[in-house]
Structure 1
Amino acid sequence: MSDNFSATATRITGPALSAFAITPSDSNDLPAPVRAVTIGTLPGTVRYTHARTGAICPTGPLPVGQHSIWAKRIWYTGTTATGLTRPLK
């Protein structure tokens, strides 16, 4: 899995340049690790797999807005927030 936030790309503290919808899945990782998730519709929990440690982490409940999480998978089971997007670089 490539890391869009390596030393040659936008830094972890830099702004997102675009965003793509996230479809939570219990079986598929995201196309690339993310450094933040935006909740756009309904607040709630986000269950994710940490991109570095592999630990499964529950959050929340979280309000609508952007939240810093380093994730390689957003789980369907345990995620109640909706309208999720991920920044790309």
Structure 2
Amino acid sequence: MYDPFKNRIPEATGPASDILPVLPADETDLPQVAAALYIETGGALSIVTASNEIRTIIVGDLSVLPVRARRVRATGTTATGIHALFIA
């Protein structure tokens, strides 16, 4: 199948190369730093950023949060249906 993005240099404004569901966990990092998070059902979202800072914000339903995250924490997270978007 033709892939028009195959030879592009990955960039934050380009399409994600993969998306995985996230199970929030206080001690477990994502398999790699996510370029963004997609949230199906809004609420509080507690993350560890790529710069290793803990941040908690309130997000709405069907939100895309363009922040590099290394972990989604269980403590403080009430949002559900969280997915990590990765750029290869």
For these two proteins, the number of residue pairs brought into alignment is 80
Cα distance in 1, alignment partners of residues 70 and 48 from structure 2: 6
Give yes or no for the alignment of 1:12 onto 2:12: yes
**Quick one: structure 1 residues 23 and 9, their matched pair in 2 at CA, closer, same or farther if it must change by over 3 Å?**
farther
1:57 corresponds in structure 2 to 55
RMSD (Å) for aligned C-alpha atoms: 1.7
Match of 2:4 in 1: none
Q: Highest Rg: 1 or 2?
A: 2
What are the ranges of 5 or more consecutive residues in structure 1 without an aligned counterpart? 1-7
- TM-score normalised according to structure 1 size: 0.79
Alignment partner, residue 32 of structure 1: 32
Going from structure 1 to structure 2, the CA distance change for 1:46 and 1:15 (only over 3 Å counts) comes to: same
The residue aligned with 1:4 is none
Shift of 1:65: 2.4
Q: 1:44 to 1:16 in 2, by over 3 A?
A: same
Provide the rounded CA distance (Å) in 2 between the counterparts of 1:9 and 1:27.
Answer: 32
Q: Which runs of 5+ in 2 are unaligned?
A: 1-7
Aligned to 2:76: 78
Compute the TM-score of the two structures, normalised by the length of structure 2. Answer: 0.80
| Percent of paired sites with the same residue | 29
